[in-house]
Amino acid sequence: MLKKPVDIFAPATLLAKRIREGEITSLELVTACLEQIEKHNGVVNAVVILLAEQALARAHSADKALAGGEVWGPLHGVPLTVKESWDVKGLPSTFGLVSLRDNIAGEDALAVSRLKAAGAILVGKTNVPPHLGDWQTIHPDYGTTRNPWDVARTPGGSSGGSAAALASGFSALEIGSDIGGSIRMPAHYCGVYGHKPSYGLVPGRGHGQPGKSAPADITVYGPLSRSAADLDLALGLLAQPDTQAWPAWRVELDSPAPRMGKHFRVGVWANDSRFPVDNEISAAILEAAESLRRAGVEVEPLARPDFTSGECYEVYVHLLRGATSARQNDKEFAANRAAVAQLAADDKSYRALSLRGNVLTHRDWLGYQQRRYGLIEAWRAYFARFDFLLCPAASTTAFTLFDNVPKEARYLEVNGRRQPSANDYFWLGLSSAAYLPATTLPIALSSSGLPIGAQIIGRFGADRACIALADIVERVHHRFATPPMFTQTAE
């Protein structure tokens, strides 16, 4: 009797269950993923460091252990890839930079070691852009990663290789990082799930360039997957204190149950006059909200926190660029200071805000920090009445790849009008500026067949609750779909 083919597009939690129950072996699953990489990675270019021999040997050990009654953990035998910027012992972590080609890790990052300890099998590392600083994933050595839904388009960035690998069936779970949408944009563009945790929840030890071990403002670390349940499992493994740094800390996340009565209460921000969203995306947000309403969730279509979109955008971009300003060398810093001196006082374009953020004095940064806490207070008032905000992750579906066009000069067509691509920092900054968790999930396919995602933003510490609402959407509205370029379909 012929065996049923291994479903490489199934969720990690289901694959782990099938391994434990003997339906498949880890070796069969890892082999199937490696065959998928061999067949399709030449086009997608998501996996840039492949550990085929090591993964097969570890899968064999996993099966041998299971046969002896030993289960390594909840991810026993499940294939994992990790964003290239995470340290893996003996492998380079380049952060997309030629200058870090020889930056070889001496040990695994804490997040990587935790997933390995849970039984996951590392099959490779996935592509990133320079400085992890783009919504395209184009590495100077590894080349361009492409969206498996349309290889002329971006998979997002900076965790673009991560999301493309999951959507392509190359692995079952990923871990990324996010300061400017680096988990959420790829999840939205590739039709997978991603969770940006509450700030500080997941330790980043082993995710930093040499000599830069201090935690960065806004930056967080979290999982990407093909289901909400996978996010929940991975978060439980990752969201533990780093005992080397904060031995007295203890994680106590919100319950994933409603706080105000029997049902979750959800506000919706589907579009914005200053930062417009493609009509298909805003309609998909409202359709997902309607599915939630029919499922018993309380939905208020116009509920949102009490601040202006312009204020949130301005505060976030200044703080974001302040957080990344150490990337400049002295010459670049001096040039940016000179450019700021030439700006009109009322120039609020992304270029102007970014330039000012790059050269903020500490006194000015403190001023924006106070404005940040104004946003935080507005969110606190909002979360006294609602559990979540449902909103877009970006203004469009995955855009066609740009060739040598800097981010501040890129424009996207939104409802027939050219809009700066940097407008998407507004939707990403809603949660990031205030340190809040945000789960990105697929909610529809566009008329052109591209994934549409949404963000679920919750109060600080409500990470599991955000994922719980994503699970409801997955059950009653839409779930991960396999890109048409692959013949195998997911269950």
d(CA 82, CA 370) in angstroms, rounded, equals 36
Say which of 83, 116, 125, 407 is annotated catalytic: 83
d(CA 306, CA 329) in angstroms, rounded, equals 39
Given a contact cutoff of 8 angstroms between Cβ atoms, the answer to whether 74 and 14 are in contact is no
Phi then psi for residue 488, to 5 deg, are: -75, 140
* Helix (H/G/I), strand (E/B), else coil: 132: helix
Structure tokens at 141: 């050595």
**Is 61 tagged catalytic?**
no
Structure letter (DSSP) for residue 104? B
**Is 158 tagged catalytic?**
yes
Given a contact cutoff of 8 angstroms between Cβ atoms, the answer to whether 126 and 166 are in contact is no
Helices vs strands, H then E, count in the chain: 14, 15
**Is 83 tagged catalytic?**
yes
Say which of 85, 93, 182, 395 is annotated catalytic: 182
**Sole residue written with tokens 């673009």:** 160
Which has the closest alpha carbon to 129: 138, 121, 140? 138
Side by side, the strands of the sheet bearing 121-126 are 47-50, 121-126, 79-83
* Helix (H/G/I), strand (E/B), else coil: 382: helix
SS (H, E, C) 300-359: ECCCCCCCCHHHHHHHHHHHHHHHCHHHCCHHHHHHHHHHHHCCCCCCCCHHHHHHHHHC
- Please list, in sequence order, all residues whose beta carbon lies within 8 angstroms of the beta carbon of residue 4, skipping any fewer than 6 positions away: none
Is residue 412 left, alpha or beta, with left meaning phi > 0 and alpha meaning psi from -120 to 50?
Answer: beta
d(CA 212, CA 169) in angstroms, rounded, equals 34
Say which of 26, 85, 158, 225 is annotated catalytic: 158
For CA atoms 172, 176, 181, 186, give the dihedral sign.
negative
Given a contact cutoff of 8 angstroms between Cβ atoms, the answer to whether 204 and 168 are in contact is no
d(CA 48, CA 143) in angstroms, rounded, equals 9
Given a contact cutoff of 8 angstroms between Cβ atoms, the answer to whether 30 and 123 are in contact is yes
d(CA 72, CA 108) in angstroms, rounded, equals 18
Helices (H), 133-268: 160-167, 184-190, 228-238
- Please list, in sequence order, all residues whose beta carbon lies within 8 angstroms of the beta carbon of residue 329, skipping any fewer than 6 positions away: none
Residues annotated as catalytic (active site), given as ranges: 83, 158, 182
